[in-house]
Structure 1
Amino acid sequence: MKRKILIVGGAGFVGRQLVRKLQDRHDICVIDTLKFGNRFGEGGSSRIVLEKVDIRDWRAVSNVMERFRPEILIHLAAIHFIPECERDPAQAEEVNVLGTMNLLRACPVGTRFVFASSGAVYRPGDGPHDESSSVEPADVYGLTKLHAENYVRYFVKQRGLCGAVVRLFNVVGPGETSPHILPEIIYQLKSGSTKIKLGNIWPQRDYIHVEDAAEGFGRVALYGEVPTGVTKLINLGTGTQYSVSMILDQLRSLTGLPIEVEHDASRARTVDRPFLQASIARIKADFGWSPRLDLAAALADLWKNPDLAPSLVNQLRNG
């Protein structure tokens, strides 16, 4: 059945993949500031409605909602690069929390509101974390996401929405828009250097391929039961974690390059949790989703065609 779906952040890393998956079967409206360029429409449908809107602008958000009247809203927009959040916590709070609140207040009653939160909300520990695990963010980004989750629960109940908070773990693959560690590694290697400068390489993370992440959001948006006035918590990851050291070993095998690491203290985070791993039993049971692609596939795709946003390439070149 064709649905009216509003994808907030649809020109971003996961958003572009999600738009591609849904555009032929549904009516799609994309809200995005186009900070990373108008990239969602490459090879896509001319039927997609694009609204260049900053979600901090209540009036602009309201106008889009009144015109489009979505049945489903998938909210992916955020400042999610942790160093950027630490440098400007006020901006992170405005975008990640106030922007979310604006969307919640404006969307029509009965809308299924799917919010992209993060595994960063969980208390640091060995894991794997399930949806009932304790929350205790260790950085500004995680704090903003947990803060926004609380508003999702509140407005879903108050306004008769159907809520789904998707706690997304570390996304990898082509199309990255922020200078996370994997695009940084790939950029340095593609630039001809096999001695790469990195910060901490010991933390272990649950890395999910961007295509699987997009598929997961699509499943939560379109399938499963989400009652009115209720917010469901769902983890979206793979259930497997890798350290950067392990990733470098895989890249050595993939590329055949003699990759060496030079520790760069300026790139090391002062706050860096040792482990982050998802339990994904709930999304499997309630929405019929399981990851199809592993880290090796993500690395191969990223190496073959990084597809990095031009603004990201400039940051890496000058960083």
Structure 2
Amino acid sequence: MTRYQKVLVTGADGFIGSHLTEELIRQGYEVRAFTMYNSNNSWGWLDECAEEVRGKFEVFAGDIRDPYGVKEAMKGCDAVLHLAALIAIPYSYHSPETYVDTNIKGTLNVLQAARELNVSKLVHTSTSEVYGTAQFVPITEEHPLQGQSPYSATKIGADQLALSFYRSFQLPVGIIRPFNTYGPRQSARAVIPTIITQIASGNTQIKLGKTSPTRDFNYVNDTVRGFIAMLESDNSIGQEINIGSNYEISIGDTAKLIGDIMNVAIEIISDETRNRPEKSEVERLWADNAKADRLLNWKPQFAGLSGFRQGLEQTINWFTAADHLSKYKADQYNK
């Protein structure tokens, strides 16, 4: 028996959203998948969803920036998982207004519709980027927020809007803050797919930006489990909760580990076009996940170095399948 009868997932056509949609259906939820409208009638990654869930979800094609469409999509749903966002950091440098429209105004549309329709639960998606470079580690939810890119600034704004609706209108909203999620279907703008696709395409000289920054990587299955735990627990209402592995590794060591798993000796080549401006680069991310354990009974299943290696192996297996690799332009930097 599911906690809620019908769930709206915004951003369901994306990397995490498509995995989340599939798992909700497996667990018996009725799902309406909000996808970005396009003239090709493409549902993004949901076009390639697992066979056992195909045809078992409803699709609403719209635009998160349109309040009328958002409200229409939400009608009849008693819970919302809001993932729709622009997330590429380099793109936010030259097109910040579209990030304000999508991430802040889009979130406002979701919050307002949820309030007007008396939705029973709303989970809003944040990001570890709101913390900026760690001032202390591991990073707890009390860490100061730092907008080091237009992207992270808009996510901070969206998070604060969500909390304001909880405090002002008692909207039952919780904020999930995933650290760096990776896995099958991830965009090549992210570092792990960038490394894998370059190696899988026959390159041994791997182009990367800075290799010294550290990240707390989370396999997508763990992140999805975090979303569902947020959805099903009343303890998440009014809370900001990190979903992270509590394991820190540098970009350079990540590349070496991927090369080792793929049995390829790689050389890392510094590509200046991939570097962020100096003060915008987030140098260190390492999650404290004690609050998720305490409030949600959530712990990462892909934990530590061994868990990271296991998740990478599954990710590599997916990306190196010919029909998947062909979808990625390994020779181009995807901003």
Determine the structure 2 residue equivalent to 1:27: 30
Q: Which amino acid aligns with 1:136?
A: Q
Determine the structure 1 residue equivalent to 2:71: 62
**CA distance in structure 1 between the partners assigned to 2:35 and 2:95 by the alignment:** 20
**CA distance in structure 2 between the partners assigned to 1:312 and 1:54 by the alignment:** 28
**CA distance in structure 1 between the partners assigned to 2:33 and 2:313 by the alignment:** 29
Selected match of 2:256 from 238, 249, 256: 249
CA contact (8 A) 2:92 2:99 kept: yes
* Residue 143, structure 1, aligned to residue 146, structure 2: no
**CA distance in structure 2 between the partners assigned to 1:310 and 1:63 by the alignment:** 34
Determine the structure 2 residue equivalent to 1:40: 46
TM-score (normalizing by structure 1): 0.92
**CA distance in structure 2 between the partners assigned to 1:120 and 1:311 by the alignment:** 28
CA contact (8 A) 1:172 1:210 kept: yes
Q: CA deviation at 1:224?
A: 4.1
Q: Which amino acid aligns with 2:44?
A: N
> Structure 1: which 5+ runs fail to align?
none
**CA distance in structure 1 between the partners assigned to 2:68 and 2:325 by the alignment:** 28
**CA distance in structure 2 between the partners assigned to 1:311 and 1:88 by the alignment:** 29
RMSD of aligned C-alpha atoms?
A: 2.2
Q: CA deviation at 1:315?
A: 5.1
**CA distance in structure 2 between the partners assigned to 1:86 and 1:307 by the alignment:** 31
- Over 3 Å counting, the alpha-carbon distance change for 1:312 and 1:86 in structure 2 is farther
* Residue 86, structure 1, aligned to residue 88, structure 2: no
Determine the structure 1 residue equivalent to 2:14: 12
**CA distance in structure 2 between the partners assigned to 1:267 and 1:91 by the alignment:** 21
Q: Which amino acid aligns with 1:160?
A: Q
* Residue 162, structure 1, aligned to residue 175, structure 2: no
CA contact (8 A) 1:174 1:305 kept: yes
Q: CA deviation at 1:253?
A: 2.1
**CA distance in structure 1 between the partners assigned to 2:217 and 2:262 by the alignment:** 20
* Deviation sequence 1:241-287 (CA, Å, 0-9, x none): 11011112212321111111111111111121211111100111111
* Residue 112, structure 1, aligned to residue 115, structure 2: no
* Residue 267, structure 1, aligned to residue 277, structure 2: no
* Deviation sequence 1:40-79 (CA, Å, 0-9, x none): 252224231100111001111121223xx22211111111
Q: What is the aligned length?
A: 314
* Deviation sequence 1:110-154 (CA, Å, 0-9, x none): 421101101111142242110111111211111011100111012
**CA distance in structure 2 between the partners assigned to 1:34 and 1:216 by the alignment:** 27
TM-score (normalizing by structure 2): 0.88
CA contact (8 A) 2:200 2:320 kept: no
Q: CA deviation at 1:203?
A: 0.2
**CA distance in structure 2 between the partners assigned to 1:256 and 1:310 by the alignment:** 20
SS in 2 for 1:23: helix
Determine the structure 2 residue equivalent to 1:285: 294
SS in 2 for 1:39: helix
Q: CA deviation at 1:207?
A: 0.3
- Over 3 Å counting, the alpha-carbon distance change for 1:242 and 1:226 in structure 2 is closer
SS in 2 for 1:225: helix
Q: CA deviation at 1:171?
A: 0.7
Q: Which amino acid aligns with 2:95?
A: D
> Structure 2: which 5+ runs fail to align?
none
CA contact (8 A) 1:254 1:300 kept: yes
SS in 1 for 2:319: coil
Q: CA deviation at 1:106?
A: 0.6
Name segments (4+ residues, structure 1) moved above 3 Å: 34-38, 157-160, 307-319
CA contact (8 A) 2:83 2:125 kept: yes
* Residue 194, structure 1, aligned to residue 197, structure 2: no
SS in 1 for 2:31: strand
SS in 2 for 1:275: coil
Determine the structure 2 residue equivalent to 1:75: 82
CA contact (8 A) 1:201 1:243 kept: yes
Q: CA deviation at 1:86?
A: 1.4
CA contact (8 A) 1:179 1:315 kept: no
**CA distance in structure 2 between the partners assigned to 1:112 and 1:168 by the alignment:** 19
* Deviation sequence 1:146-203 (CA, Å, 0-9, x none): 1001110122333432111111110111111351111111111111111111111110
CA contact (8 A) 1:79 1:95 kept: yes
Q: Which amino acid aligns with 1:7?
A: V
Q: Which amino acid aligns with 1:57?
A: D
SS in 1 for 2:174: strand
